[in-house]
Structure 1
Amino acid sequence: MQPLIIRRVSKLLSFSIILMMLNGCGFQLRGNYLLAPELQTIIFSSVDQYGELTRLVKQHLSINDVTLVRQSEKAIPQMRILQDNLDRRTLSVFPNGQVAEYELIYTVRYQVLIPGQDIQNFRFELNRDYQDDPDIALAKSRELSLMLREMRKEAANKILRDMASIQL
């Protein structure tokens, strides 16, 4: 009976030590960002109110307990998504002249306006290579759609990381 209790206690102790070490080094699960208290209530707007990036950013903000308001009489921070745009550049072509590979370039521009401070403009690009094959156009169309969705998720995560880095 004694060895069983000792094994359980040692497992529990080992698990506790690992958790304390992870917590001590600052480890946090992604998706939960420590935003400044001043950014816990913001006015959020976007050029594409019903776009996927807007929906994802709103979702991330709500996960992080940020209250979104339409208007306020008090001076509160604002966040505006100004642009999200997908471009592509040809990387290679088949011998018959058809495009074989593209580079997808997803550009996002947004602003954070904090009362009493200068407007903070942010811009970033996400790049992915995409191989096109006209013989399997339907599958490649689906792949492109999934890749764009993944890029938008990554962009929403980047926006929250940038907001967490704002020093007030």
Structure 2
Amino acid sequence: MRITLNNLLGKALITVMAATLVTGCGFQLRGLVEVAPLLSTLKVSTPDNFSQFSRKLVRSLESNNINISDQAPYTLKVLKHERDRKVASFAGNAQAAEYRVRLSSQYQLENRNGLVIIGPFKANSERVFLHEPNNAAASASEERLITEELDKDIIRQIQQRLAALSNADIENAEAEAEAKKLAEEQKKQPS
């Protein structure tokens, strides 16, 4: 097979045109988000900073070019991250046939002084999986995989919420929160 300059240039041109069309229509890889410059460095706080969820959240933020630092001007604070598992349906022998796994996280954005400027928000995700009583290992493995998918979904929801905020949104929310705090402090002071 003979490769000519025209064939090579043609293939390169088609590749460049395809890439231009894909990026021009706003296509982004799933999971990648772009946040406002004010959120380019964040502190992350979770109920258990050593949990799998916490580590996944930090890794995902870092993979989106968000620096994680204890000296950041804003903190993404996860107040709760809860898991719930319930029977979704029963088989004819009154044993559980399906289970519903639900994850729920409550989070907010705080400034350096711990003042809540945006939130709290709630992110939920759930899935139903088939329970096989004769194969407990397979059911446990499926539940573990589903829980990992739900964690990813919760993290994606949190990142999308952050991506929806502009610098102006953050600054305005912070000014409102500080004004509200000042008004409350003035009310508490004796006249």
Q: TM-score with structure 2 length normalisation?
A: 0.77
CA 1:89/1:3 → structure 2, altered by over 3 Å: closer, same or farther?
closer
SS class of match (2:135): helix
Shift in Å, 1:114: 4.5
Aligned mates of 1:35, 1:84 — CA distance in 2: 23
TM-score, L = length of structure 1: 0.87
Say if 2:153 is the partner of 1:136.
no
Whole-Å separation in 1 of the counterparts to 2:69 and 2:11: 47
Gaps of 5+ in 2: 168-191
Q: Does 1:36 align with 2:36?
A: yes
Structure 1 Cα separation of the partners of residues 84 and 47 of structure 2: 18
Structure 1 residues without counterparts, runs of 5 or longer: none
Q: Considering only aligned residues, what root-mean-square deviation do their CA atoms show, in Å?
A: 2.2
Q: Any runs of at least 4 consecutive aligned residues in structure 1 with deviations exceeding 4 A, and if so which? A: 114-117
Distance 1:11 1:67 in 2: 38
The residue number in structure 2 matching 1:156 is 155
Q: Within 2, Cα distance between the matches of 1:7 and 1:69?
A: 50
Q: Deviations over 1:88-121 (max 9, x none)?
A: 2322112221111122111111111257983322
Residues 43, 137 of structure 1: alpha-carbon distance in 2 compared, 3 angstrom cutoff? same
CA 137–165 in structure 1, closer or farther in 2 if over 3 Å, else same: same
Percent of residue pairs bearing the same amino acid type: 26
Higher relative contact order (CA closer than 8 Å, sequence separation 6+): 1
Could you list the per-position Cα deviations for residues 66-93 of structure 1 after superposition, in whole angstroms to 9, with x for gaps in the alignment? 2222246xxx111101111111232211
